[in-house]
Structure 1
């Protein structure tokens, strides 16, 4: 049985500044991941599927496959399964596996049994390990990598194992706020850290919002695809009180078309400006998963525009709806953060760790009103 490592790197054609730096960060993380994977000495083949093959010609030991014109992830994966029907495959997108170690790669690969899959999230995966011995899979219609584990478990009876969800297993580079979290927390491999050190990237509204986490008199509201992990993390790792409005989970893996939020609907009838200007009565900061708002409104927002909203950079916004949204948020007297799912559930925990370390706590746990130093 062969061991195959398959990494996917797709570069968006958007020429905007934020899209470019996210692409470059993914490329840097990819180079770190390739080296870590090769150093395990477990794999018979290391394959990179990308729409920019010329950027990776320096690695003689790497098979580079040009996937231009092959949009569906399932079709690209099926190529490998047909070539190597009796194999164990480690798959990762270039923006994920930032914290995956060689020891973990070995453990998860060796933990596979016949027709099983191990994923960081069985419902919306960023990386996974799969053993499809003698199992023919009809997966060419699968558009993205996120839904592959769910499909093989539900339709083909694979034994599904989920890696413990935390800020490390869930982290995915999916926007500029993720880069801010990594840079402040001083996390990532050599290439990724080197790239981040060259960036002058900041968000003053975000800096103001996260200070609430260490203040027991404050309340912070999270709205969107909030994970159980984040709720538990915030319970024990913050001094502030937290509130949650959870909706939209599974939106991507199940398809966001037709997503409806009764809360957004009620607010939109009144006007978002009404919500933002009255939030002070309810909380001291809001972290809003803006992608569920876009889905509710039926807006197909370009990648660069989404990133500009995340960074609260109105100067680079062309979309009138987003400009109006950001201008309304600026009228609030509390910080309002627009973000993606990845930052909400894994970037924020990294920033909270960084905040406590900055205050002199190496590790900490908040319980019963007492912050304790934990010696490990």
Structure 2
């Protein structure tokens, strides 16, 4: 990307992000308080229980279902409810703790299941190495034996959620910095325009989904940039989970913290008054309406940022509280069905229309991650 295109990108995004959509200060203060812990837990249980009761078969081990189980294992950590662990275990055992496409895969989506396998390994004592043998074998190959110099595997922003955390967690578990170094090399390729697609827009801190959406490529019908909500949600989740895994003083954590803070700052500026975010963060008129999966991941990031002091509590807790209120009052049905989830896709136009009656496994998983993090604020 040349400098002129980058400057045009930044100017266009700056215009798109110029008008904050948050409520006036007095109303923002009123919204700052989260609901009681029991209310948050009740909403989480309703969503999880509805999904489990509707899916006797726990499903495949691909990225979408794996994201649900990442959320469910987080709910188990918060509640110690045995049936949540049992359902997650039944899913993992159905697949023999294996990866979609096997241990030779380099595709980040395939590594997402490894997050839940690592969760189960830790929840059940951290002694049964068979639970994490496949994810460890696959990441070891990428780091040590299968073209370890190749760092261009993550060419889309979703990859940061799918595969950053397993690399980080394995690095800590095995006391091996090579995994963290490999993670950073892959991340740098995705982020940088120097030899990579350059998906991070340095002027705003938001991320393009892939190179097709860079300036001069795919735009909205009004000619504004396309910065997909869930794509930035994946980025948010990936940074949070990686920072949770790595020691605070580890190499590159300052870079990851800085990237997350800039992303949260940009998100706060374009939040809707009902607490949600639109599917295109840079164009509120582009398929406007609430969207749950991106909103849930952003709530997860905001809650983590407030809890850890990365962002000011008085400015960012109101955004998290408003988002949670929107999710539970507008998207969560009385029976626990979670609506307004955009289905599988790569842009705002994908899986439209997004309605009160549209849901998906990864959206429920993101909702569970958001709520369990809010419990810790």
The TM-score with structure 1 as length reference comes to 0.30
Q: Which has the higher contact order (CA 8 A, sep 6+)?
A: 2
Q: Which has the higher helix share?
A: 2
Q: Which has the higher strand share?
A: 1
Which structure: larger Rg?
Answer: 1
